[in-house]
Amino acid sequence: MVPRQSAHMTIMVAAAQKAAKRLVRDFNEVEQLQVSVKGPSDFVSQADLRSEQSIRDDLDRARPGYGFLMEESGTGGSTNWTWRWIVDPLDGTTNFLHGIPNWAISIALEKRLVDGGSEIVAGVVYAPALAELYWAEKGVGAFLNDRRLRVSARREWSSALFATGIPFARTTPRNRLAFARILGGLMPEIAGIRRFGAASLDLAWVAAGRFDGFWEFGLNKWDLAAGALMVREAGGYVTDPAGQEQVESNIVAANPYLHPRLLERVAAAAEMTRATSGDPHVTTAPH
């Protein structure tokens, strides 16, 4: 039985579904979109901007006084927020612009705690071209449309299927080396590695048991906030490469059986790269 969604979740789903209607039209006429270049292989289209504005307007109308952290416009709303929306209006822009249907809207809700920290309490990842609406609330569970999600139960390392984000144009040689070390170590041992180009969906697919795990460096909070909650609510583990649960950029997510070993591999490669390069930061380019 699917639990009743909270008022916050109802607002988030409605905002995502409304923005998606225009995104689907744009996707079907993608050759007519105006596209700007934010950096090497990093694009923003009219579709991203219109989606973000639509979502912001709807969320702000429903809950005035909440803060915002959005991919294209940055921080906004109340600076003294107790609640903050975290929004990626179009995760997988490169896929979108190439006519590949693997893209999504990601919306998360962050709550500030009395100790000064914060936690993600709700998340939506909506892939309209795939007709898949993922949603999760802290303590309630994770769902795909009306079906409860559980991470995979796979224990065999040799049968594992992992997802990641492959570095491209703007990634430094040092950071490409970190990725290559992880990839080179994993490839001979597991069933396969996939790169689909939208981190929010990669995490949702871990929650759904399609992937057994996922890792990536250099993500932004809007890339991973909603998806990380889904993995946890589906019974999986999510940490940074140091094993800390507070994840801001670098992430390792997997089912409980495979997470320790995947974490060990990612952490070792990242540490080796830092030690040999002297660079404390290991990052890859955004989606």
Cα–Cα distance between 17 and 55 in angstroms, integer?
Answer: 9
Choice between 31 and 142, residue whose per-residue pLDDT is larger = 142
Name the pairing type of β-strands 104-112 and 118-127: antiparallel
Q: Could you tell me the pLDDT band of residue 269, with boundaries at 50, 70 and 90? A: confident
CATH of region 7-148: 3.30.540.10
Task: Assess contact for 259 and 152: CB atoms under 8 A.
Answer: no
Q: What pairing do the DSSP bridges indicate for beta strands 161-164 and 192-194?
A: parallel
pLDDT at 36: 55
Convert the pLDDT of each residue in 5-19 to its tens digit. 999 999 999 999 999
Q: Which fold has domain 157-277?
A: D-Maltodextrin-Binding Protein; domain 2 (3.40.190)
Token pair for 76: 């906004």
pTM reported for the whole predicted model: 0.91
* pLDDT of 105 strictly over 70: yes
Over residues 61-94, the pLDDT tens digits come to 999 999 999 998 889 988 889 999 999 999 999 8
Mean pLDDT, all residues of the chain: 90
Give Cα separations from 274 to 172, 241, 280, 281 (angstroms).
13, 13, 6, 7
Note the pLDDT of residue 207: 98
Is the pLDDT score of 287 beyond 80? Answer: no
What span, in angstroms and rounded, lies between the C-alpha atoms of 287 and 42? Answer: 7
SS (H, E, C) the chain: CCCCCCHHHHHHHHHHHHHHHHHHHHHHCHHHCCEEEEECCEEEEHHHHHHHHHHHHHHHHHCCCCEEEECCCEEEECCCCCEEEEEEEEECHHHHHCCCCCCEEEEEEEEECCCCCEEEEEEEEEEHHHCEEEEEECCCEEEECCEECCCCCCCCHHHCEEEECCCCCCCCHHHHHHHHHHHHHHCCCCCEEECCCCHHHHHHHHHCCCCCEEEECCCCHHHHHHHHHHHHHCCCEEECCCCCCCCCCCEEEECCCCHHHHHHHHHHHHHHHHHHHCCCCCCCCCC
Cα distance between residue 245 and residue 284, in whole Å? 21
**Mean pLDDT of all residues in 218-239:** 97
Average pLDDT rounded to a whole number, residues 160-187: 84
Sign of the alpha-carbon torsion through 244, 250, 255, 261? negative
What are the extents of the domains in the chain? 7-148, 157-277
